[in-house]
A and B are shown apart, each in its own frame.
Chain A
């Protein structure tokens, strides 16, 4: 998947040539990248279960997920001798892993130690060194979009995420609702006209165009439903619609999924976290399927601001922690394995006696992925993640 096709020849001089770069037709083989942000800090230890660790079972008497065991239905699904998948994603991510289309990076995260959701989410989305003064107008995906030619970025969110904040307007639209566009051509032109030359000019133009595209998508869904297709909901529905956009027009996407802040009654094989993981897993499997052949040209990267405390708390939940587990999915990723530096899960390896440590910095990991995926050199990666040392985990 190493391609050196899409660099700006004169990077520094690259002007914002169009809204979201849409004037360029990207070559058909340009990789497609989707970033999935799990907001709230998902409990990775109950997703990728360290089943060889007796410490895990000691510290989570109420919420641990049972070891892989053919005799029980809600045990974990063994991936190797140390790690196993939560049963909630057995049927969605299990097959992807077996087909080597999914890899996991344990002990991943940031060097932000605030353990604040908002601070750490911001850190990740900005992708700037933590010690420096932050520039809230420059997210890492926006810098990536600016570095690639014809990346056509889009956020499938209500509001533009910080990761996509930058100089040029990037499209954002939530796919959870939508309908037929109420404006005729004259009205559309008049509405645009009021904003010509203002700083909202591109947002208005994109918005009116996207509105029509989503309306079109829904029309087709309704026709499909009338022919007896199963209707989906929640994240699965969003994923199915995202695939429609990412299969054709857009190549750099972002979506976020909330509800991971499980301080109370998190559950184990069943319960709040399992329900959320189940829906996420199904959604991503749906996404893979709906992309068709383009799945082979796609990388999905799933991350979250931090992991959670390794020990369960007093309320059968977990509190804000540090190291997380990131996921890399795609038709041609180098999957079916754990990637990155690892350490055995035990009392003496916990960070500050409470959390997973971070051994794989997310900026280094993503820089490595971006470098290979688009053939970016050190200078370009420096623009996207200033000061980061790219780490090639041979994921793509």
Chain B
């Protein structure tokens, strides 16, 4: 952007700041937007922006929903698409990464103690940190700029449901592949495919220790969480005995080494290797097993698949997943009726996520909760930058990852496998409110480093954002309370006005 253009933008912003208090009917208000649909659009997206309004005006409510459910309209802005196509650390596929990182770690361990070893270790560590950042950055680019906003929310939802933690084992290297290969292709697919894709991914196998689970060396960790957190829920009707049985089923499910194992001839037919995934029959417990009262009839990896089938076809699973979706999109304590209908859809459609979401997004229950769900940090930060910068491409994602970290919801940063809480109260305690206001101020008062290119170079945008956009007038302004309008009127500058808007109760909920 040229300097004079920047200056013009700055002046326009100042002028708008002086005007906001008395702007009764702004000339920029879009005509076609139905104000009643705005809260609904806020929940379908990470925040309404100009692209959402245009798509909604073109397709209408139903057409918009169907387009979002297809999730196919992933036409990213050119610059984003080009950026994502760049080769980068963490973009190697998982099979290569698992082996190359392990080889490098082995090499480093074999070096004598001294500066060379220390330097090599530090270098690998820095590469790991960079790989994790790159995975976060790519997720954020898509979440902010993809028109397929519901899909992006579902990617976040499933990454949280099948949560992995970057600091466990070598998981940080695998985050990009985990998202792109295990989660994204199935985010709007069938639930069973998500379970199988995460079960076969080295990030999950390392994170929940199943890579070490072998006959005679049982590790229950993944087996338990697969039922408790991924499929049935803690009240889903399984026992400690079922955990032990499922752990036996999962013996041998692990991560491929460089060399395939030497197997006795009778086991060779059971060996499975696909990318970084390996089912090693020599580590598997081939004894008979009973899961949830059902004797399993198949053997080897087919038995794993049979066990997953059994889990995902439980009504407990349909209800557990449906309720969690309703908590995310509707509210902390979603009405039983909508959860029941979603559960029914889940079962009738064999776990078709699109069908379940359609039931949800066409429900009266969702509409009745408009504006009442407190945004979690991801929804808050993304809606703020989408409002502030709309389609303008952020050059540096570090401020965004920093804000998510400060608010306690960094991507891939949840240590325990339960993922982040979806409850309002988890994000609205006193300490969090003040921190959120600080971030509102940072975003409202300047470009916050978002446009300082990551490889150095001069900032491409300076000054503060102008939030009095058509999106503001179309989607936000009509919902503001007298108290909030009063605060906005007292703003002594455009920056302060930005702070109050981003800190307001209305902007903090959806």
The chain A residues found within 8 Å of chain B, CB to CB, are: 39-40, 113-119, 155, 158-160, 165, 169, 171-174, 177, 182-183, 186-187, 190-191, 193-198, 200, 202-208, 210-211, 258-259, 261, 263-264, 313-315, 317, 319-320, 352
Alpha-carbon separation in the docked complex, A320 to B212 (Å): 16
B216 to chain A, nearest CB (A): 7
Alpha-carbon separation in the docked complex, A172 to B428 (Å): 10
Q: Tell yes or no: B228 within 8 A of A by CB.
A: yes
Interface-forming stretch among B114-122, B177-185, B286-294, B430-438? Answer: B430-438
Are A193 and B483 CB-contacts (below 8 A) given A158-B408, A177-B406, A182-B441? yes
User: Which secondary structure dominates where chain B touches chain A?
Assistant: helix
CB contacts (< 8 Å) of A198 on chain B: these are 505
Q: Assess whether A207 is in contact with B433, with CB atoms less than 8 Å apart.
A: yes
A-B contact sample (14 more), CB < 8 A, given A169-B430, A172-B429, A196-B483 = A40-B416, A115-B243, A119-B234, A172-B432, A174-B408, A182-B438, A186-B490, A187-B499, A193-B486, A194-B500, A204-B434, A210-B434, A317-B219, A319-B219
Q: Assess whether B240 is in contact with A264, with CB atoms less than 8 Å apart.
A: no
Are A200 and B433 CB-contacts (below 8 A) given A194-B505, A315-B219? yes
Alpha-carbon separation in the docked complex, A204 to B431 (Å): 8
Of all chain B residues, which has the CB nearest A20? B430
Q: Tell yes or no: B415 within 8 A of A by CB.
A: yes
CB contacts (< 8 Å) of B219 on chain A: these are 263-264, 313-315, 317, 319
Q: Tell yes or no: B221 within 8 A of A by CB.
A: yes
Q: Tell yes or no: B360 within 8 A of A by CB.
A: no
Of all chain A residues, which has the CB nearest B486? A193
Interface-forming stretch among B51-59, B195-203, B262-270, B418-426? Answer: B418-426
Q: Assess whether A116 is in contact with B431, with CB atoms less than 8 Å apart.
A: no
Of all chain A residues, which has the CB nearest B507? A194
A377 to chain B, nearest CB (A): 31
Q: Assess whether B487 is in contact with A159, with CB atoms less than 8 Å apart.
A: no
Of all chain A residues, which has the CB nearest B214? A314
Q: Assess whether B483 is in contact with A208, with CB atoms less than 8 Å apart.
A: no
Q: Tell yes or no: B484 within 8 A of A by CB.
A: yes
CB contacts (< 8 Å) of A116 on chain B: these are 224, 228, 234
CB contacts (< 8 Å) of A159 on chain B: these are 408, 421, 425-427, 429, 432
Q: Tell yes or no: B388 within 8 A of A by CB.
A: no
Are A160 and B437 CB-contacts (below 8 A) given A319-B220, A319-B221? no
Considering only residues 351-387 of chain B, those with a C-beta below 8 Å from chain A are: none
Q: Tell yes or no: B218 within 8 A of A by CB.
A: yes
Alpha-carbon separation in the docked complex, A29 to B136 (Å): 50
A193 to chain B, nearest CB (A): 6
Q: Assess whether A313 is in contact with B217, with CB atoms less than 8 Å apart.
A: yes
A255 to chain B, nearest CB (A): 13
Q: Assess whether B432 is in contact with A207, with CB atoms less than 8 Å apart.
A: yes
CB contacts (< 8 Å) of B220 on chain A: these are 319-320
Q: Assess whether B221 is in contact with A263, with CB atoms less than 8 Å apart.
A: yes
CB contacts (< 8 Å) of A169 on chain B: these are 430
A148 to chain B, nearest CB (A): 20
Q: Assess whether A320 is in contact with B431, with CB atoms less than 8 Å apart.
A: no
Q: Tell yes or no: B496 within 8 A of A by CB.
A: yes
Alpha-carbon separation in the docked complex, A194 to B503 (Å): 9
Of all chain A residues, which has the CB nearest B415? A258
Q: Tell yes or no: B153 within 8 A of A by CB.
A: no
Are A194 and B415 CB-contacts (below 8 A) given A177-B406, A182-B441, A314-B218? no
A190, A200, A317: the one within 8 Å of B490 (CB):
A190
Q: Assess whether A211 is in contact with B434, with CB atoms less than 8 Å apart.
A: yes
B212, B218, B240, B416: the one within 8 Å of A113 (CB):
B240
Q: Tell yes or no: B494 within 8 A of A by CB.
A: no
Residue picked from A40, A165, A196, A315, most chain B C-beta under 10 Å: A315
CB contacts (< 8 Å) of B303 on chain A: these are none
Of all chain A residues, which has the CB nearest B481? A194
Are A204 and B224 CB-contacts (below 8 A) given A114-B234, A263-B219? no
CB contacts (< 8 Å) of B428 on chain A: these are 200, 203
Residue picked from A173, A258, A352, most chain B C-beta under 10 Å: A173
A12 to chain B, nearest CB (A): 26
